[in-house]
């Protein structure tokens, strides 16, 4: 029988079906939807149009939201890298019981729902919250935090940090600890050794961490929804509003596709730029 | 007064002493090996000299200067790590150049010295390769070049040859010695391979259980091992327990003639003789009769185990083209009495 020919197809079939059913079909439907005309009184029409795309790309309101999404996602990624990389380094240098304990501390928040954590932050950052009470106590407050971009970034960093720490930590695990010692013995200070020897080798971990954090931040929904309030929208909340409040599904679909494409382009470009450099030296 | 001295250096890890009261003086230009089985504290000793491990006690002096508390990047010692620890993201030339860059050596001089050093280790045409593109032996030579280019007062080698295959290891032993002679750098090498230690060192330091038990030139170490452990760890040794009687060692009915020794008759002793000091002869001749129990061909020589009244004795027979006695055949064993040393029980305890 042609068993050997059929086997690989049978083996990929479950995965392929899952992928087709859960990703490909909805995506195609969304693309189709985004090209359908819409009328406020009669709803979705049976004719094709690119009006939604033109509308979104020429209206300053939408562009501002896209720009904010991009900016906040990039800022979150940067802060996560600045906090996550040292955190991963310290973690990798920890002794036996502490390493597992602190790894759990870092991963722990993932076990709590994002919605719950967002509400937690809104309580902390509110006008009568703990942060403002503390700021007032030292004579710096009150400061408006909730429903600002600051609140969104703080909460996003908190949620995304494990996605940065874990890839960097994995990269550090693969590092020969003696390589750093070798740099010291050659006259490098601790800082120089980190910068010249350790950092270039964890670049790949930092890259994958950045891609995950950026992608998740740019499409985050619950945090901007709960901490940004009604006015401070990001891409995902905008799409939600178009679908659920305006009921203009084709416009929502067009925005979703645009966000997807933009995200994809940014991530691929970033990946190419960093990976090409790392590949050349690390192989 | 040595160039590099360790004075009562010790290291305790979580209550467990790893290195105990180590004293060593290394002269300028000397090649000293720290030899011992794994876990004897030799690598820890090296790391304390390098500054990567802080001693629990004692002093380390370099050229009279106390460096015990100095940071590794201030000591300026050259170190070749067991894993070589090359920088994988830098080329060979960049690896070698790193130490010079840290010393702010100007570009032109840096390039010149790197090229010279790569020439010395025969890697001049590999300068632009990355470590992953090199063979084990080449990586090892890059590590040596990187450590030597900064003209360190002392070169420390941590099991530098253990990751190489047997043939290459032998080549690199001589290569290492050649480079060391050429540059004249004081060198300390850690190894668990006794053949390696004997062949390239000026002096060998044997470590057992965190202590230095013998410091001697390779020949003396081999001929006059100070402890029972060294006698079997360095080379092969027949150890035969017996009783001292009338200037010989008596084992049951067998009498082993030995070098004269000042021991009270009736004392329990151990007779020591190396397999290559024994000669195989015809049955009935020699000082001891026996029967070949096993026979191994090792290329340059044969190693026979002969069952005798004094127990099983290893005999090394040079491969002269004649095949020695086979398993089961009766043979005689002969030796020069001066080559059979005697150790008393009190020495064994020490």
Q: What are phi and psi of B221, to 5 degrees?
A: -60, -40
DSSP, res A176: -
Going from the C-alpha of A228 to that of each of A188, A194, A262, the distances in angstroms are 46, 38, 22
Q: What's the pLDDT score for residue A6?
A: 86
User: Could you report the per-residue pLDDT of A79-104, keeping only the tens digit for each?
Assistant: 999 999 999 999 988 888 888 898 88
A179: distance to nearest CA of chain B, Å?
Answer: 4
B172: distance to nearest CA of chain A, Å?
Answer: 21
Q: How far apart, in whole angstroms, are the C-alpha atoms of residue B236 and residue B286? A: 22
Nearest Cβ partner for B89 among A178, A186, A200: A200
Q: How far apart, in whole angstroms, are the C-alpha atoms of residue B243 and residue B344? A: 9
**Half-sphere exposure (Cβ direction) of B200: Cα atoms closer than 13 Å:** 28
Q: What's the pLDDT score for residue A126?
A: 85
What three-state secondary structure class fits A37? Answer: strand
Q: What are phi and psi of B25, to 5 degrees?
A: -125, 120
Q: How far apart, in whole angstroms, are the C-alpha atoms of residue B67 and residue B7? A: 12
Using a CB-CB cut-off of 8 Å, the residues of chain A touching B150 are 186-187
Mutation pick from B14, B47, B72 vs chain A, by most beta carbons of A within 10 Å, is: B72
DSSP, res B321: S
Q: What's the pLDDT score for residue A282?
A: 57
B21: distance to nearest CA of chain A, Å?
Answer: 25
Q: A25 falls in which pLDDT band (50, 70, 90)? A: very high
Going from the C-alpha of A259 to that of each of A223, A234, A236, A248, the distances in angstroms are 17, 10, 9, 17
Q: B190 falls in which pLDDT band (50, 70, 90)? A: very high
A38: distance to nearest CA of chain B, Å?
Answer: 56
ipTM of the complex: 0.80
Mutation pick from B52, B80, B88, B188 vs chain A, by most beta carbons of A within 10 Å, is: B88
For range B36-65, the mean pLDDT: 93
B209: distance to nearest CA of chain A, Å?
Answer: 24
Domain extents in chain B: 4-232, 236-349
Alpha helices in chain B (DSSP H): 42-50, 72-75, 92-102, 107-120, 136-148, 166-183, 194-200, 218-223, 228-233, 345-349
B349 pLDDT above the threshold of 50: no
Show the 3-state SS of A214-232. HHHHHCCCHHHHHHCCCCC
What three-state secondary structure class fits B33? Answer: strand
B83/A178 touch (CB, cutoff 8 Å), yes or no: yes
For range A16-23, the mean pLDDT: 93
A128 pLDDT above the threshold of 50: yes
DSSP, res A262: H
A253 pLDDT above the threshold of 50: yes
CATH superfamily of B236-349: Nucleic acid-binding proteins (2.40.50.140)
B73/A186 touch (CB, cutoff 8 Å), yes or no: yes
In chain A, which residues touch B (CB < 8 A)? 176, 178-179, 181-189, 192, 196-197, 200-201, 281-283
B103/A187 touch (CB, cutoff 8 Å), yes or no: yes
Write down the pTM of the prediction: 0.79
Q: What's the pLDDT score for residue B285?
A: 87
Nearest Cβ partner for B89 among A182, A192, A281: A281
Q: How far apart, in whole angstroms, are the C-alpha atoms of residue B251 and residue B241? A: 7
Q: Tokens 């370099």 — which residue? A: B62
Q: A281 falls in which pLDDT band (50, 70, 90)? A: low
Q: How far apart, in whole angstroms, are the C-alpha atoms of residue B146 and residue B140? A: 10
In chain B, which residues touch A (CB < 8 A)? 50-52, 71-73, 75-79, 81-83, 85-90, 98-99, 102-103, 130, 132, 146, 150
As to burial, measured by CB atoms within 10 angstroms (0-12 exposed, 13-18 middle, 19+ buried), residue B83 is middle
Q: How far apart, in whole angstroms, are the C-alpha atoms of residue B121 and residue B95? A: 14
Q: How far apart, in whole angstroms, are the C-alpha atoms of residue A243 and residue A230? A: 15
Q: How far apart, in whole angstroms, are the C-alpha atoms of residue B33 and residue A168? A: 39
B240 pLDDT above the threshold of 80: yes
Domain extents in chain A: 53-282
Q: What is the CA radius of gyration of chain A?
A: 23
Q: In chain B, whose CA is at the least distance from the CA of A187? A: B73
Using a CB-CB cut-off of 8 Å, the residues of chain B touching A181 are 50, 52, 72, 81, 85
Nearest Cβ partner for A185 among B79, B86, B88: B79
Concatenated DSSP letters for A116-169? HHHHHHHHHHSTTSHHHHHHHHTT------TTSHHHHHHHHHHHHHHHHHHHHH
B99/A186 touch (CB, cutoff 8 Å), yes or no: yes
As to burial, measured by CB atoms within 10 angstroms (0-12 exposed, 13-18 middle, 19+ buried), residue B174 is exposed
User: Could you report the per-residue pLDDT of B288-332, keeping only the tens digit for each?
Assistant: 999 999 999 999 999 999 999 888 999 999 999 888 888 999 999
Using a CB-CB cut-off of 8 Å, the residues of chain A touching B77 are 185
Of A186, A67, A47, the C-alpha closest to B85 is A186
B37: distance to nearest CA of chain A, Å?
Answer: 21
Residues sharing a CB contact under 8 Å with residue B311, sequence separation 6 or more, in sequence order? B240, B251
Mutation pick from B89, B130, B147 vs chain A, by most beta carbons of A within 10 Å, is: B89
Q: B36 falls in which pLDDT band (50, 70, 90)? A: very high
Q: How many CB atoms lie within 10 A of CB A84?
A: 29
**Half-sphere exposure (Cβ direction) of A75: Cα atoms closer than 13 Å:** 14
For range B40-54, the mean pLDDT: 93
Question: Residue B190 is inside which H or E element, if any?
Answer: strand B186-191
B52/A185 touch (CB, cutoff 8 Å), yes or no: yes
Q: Cα-Cα-Cα-Cα dihedral of B85, B88, B89, B92, to 10°?
A: 80
**Domain B4-232, what fold?**
Rossmann fold (3.40.50)
Q: How many CB atoms lie within 10 A of CB B13?
A: 11
B232 pLDDT above the threshold of 90: no
Q: B173 falls in which pLDDT band (50, 70, 90)? A: confident
User: What CATH number labels A53-282?
Assistant: 1.10.3720.10
């Amino acid at each position: 029988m042609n068993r050997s020919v059929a086997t690989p197809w049978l083996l990929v079939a479950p995965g392929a079906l899952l992928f087709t059913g859960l990703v490909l079909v909805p995506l195609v439907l969304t693309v189709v939807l985004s090209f359908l005309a819409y009328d406020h009184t009669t709803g979705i029409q049976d004719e094709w149009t690119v009006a939604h795309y033109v509308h979104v790309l020429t209206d300053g309101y939408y562009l501002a939201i896209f720009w904010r999404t991009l900016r906040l996602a990039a800022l979150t990624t940067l802060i996560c890298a600045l906090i996550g990389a040292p955190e991963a380094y310290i973690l990798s240098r920890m002794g036996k019981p502490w390493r597992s304990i602190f790894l759990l501390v870092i991963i722990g928040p993932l076990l709590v729902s994002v919605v719950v954590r967002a509400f937690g932050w809104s309580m902390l950052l509110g006008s009568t919250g703990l942060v403002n009470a503390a700021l007032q106590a030292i004579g710096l407050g009150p400061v408006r935090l909730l429903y600002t971009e600051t609140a969104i970034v703080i909460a996003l960093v908190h949620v995304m940090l494990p996605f940065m720490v874990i890839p960097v930590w994995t990269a550090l695990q693969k590092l020969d600890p003696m390589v750093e010692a070798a740099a010291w013995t050659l006259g490098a200070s601790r800082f120089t050794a980190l910068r010249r020897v350790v950092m270039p080798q964890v670049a790949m971990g930092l890259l994958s961490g950045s891609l995950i954090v950026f992608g998740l931040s740019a499409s985050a929904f619950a945090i901007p929804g709960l901490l940004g309030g009604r006015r401070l929208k990001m891409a995902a909340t905008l799409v939600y509003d178009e679908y659920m409040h305006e009921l203009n599904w084709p416009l929502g679909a067009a925005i979703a596709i645009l966000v997807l494409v933009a995200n994809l382009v940014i991530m691929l470009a970033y990946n190419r730029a960093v990976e090409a450099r790392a590949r050349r030296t690390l192989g | 007064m040595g160039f590099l001295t360790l004075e009562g250096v010790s290291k305790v890890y979580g209550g467990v002493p790893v290195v105990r009261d180590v004293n060593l003086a290394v002269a300028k230009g000397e090649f000293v090996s720290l030899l011992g089985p794994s876990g004897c504290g030799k690598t820890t000793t090296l790391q304390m000299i390098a500054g990567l491990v802080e001693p629990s006690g004692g002093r380390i002096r370099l050229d009279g200067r106390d460096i015990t508390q100095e940071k590794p990047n201030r000591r300026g010692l050259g170190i070749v790590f067991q894993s070589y620890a090359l920088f994988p993201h830098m080329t060979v030339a960049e690896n070698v150049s790193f130490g010079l860059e840290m010393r702010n050596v100007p570009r032109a001089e840096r390039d010149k010295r790197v090229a010279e050093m790569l020439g010395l280790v025969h890697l001049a045409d590999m300068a632009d390769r990355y470590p992953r593109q090199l063979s084990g032996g080449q990586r090892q030579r890059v590590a040596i070049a990187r450590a030597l280019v900064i003209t360190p007062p002392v070169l420390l080698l941590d099991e530098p040859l253990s990751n190489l295959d047997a043939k290459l290891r032998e080549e690199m032993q001589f290569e290492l010695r050649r480079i060391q002679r050429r540059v004249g750098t004081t060198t300390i090498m850690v190894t668990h391979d006794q053949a390696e230690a004997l062949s390239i060192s000026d002096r060998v330091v044997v470590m057992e259980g965190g202590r230095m038990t013998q410091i001697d030139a390779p020949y003396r170490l081999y001929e006059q091992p100070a402890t029972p452990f060294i006698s079997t760890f360095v080379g092969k040794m027949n150890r035969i327990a017996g009783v001292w009687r009338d200037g010989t060692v008596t084992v049951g009915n067998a009498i082993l003639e030995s070098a004269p020794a000042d021991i009270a008759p009736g004392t329990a002793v151990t007779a020591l003789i190396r397999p290559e000091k024994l000669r195989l002869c015809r049955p009935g001749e020699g000082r001891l009769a026996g029967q070949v129990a096993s026979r191994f061909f090792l290329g340059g020589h044969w190693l026979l185990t002969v069952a005798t009244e004094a127990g099983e004795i290893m005999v090394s027979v040079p491969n002269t083209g004649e095949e020695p006695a086979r398993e089961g055949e009766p043979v005689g064993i002969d030796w020069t009495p001066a080559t059979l040393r005697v150790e008393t029980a009190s020495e064994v305890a020490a």
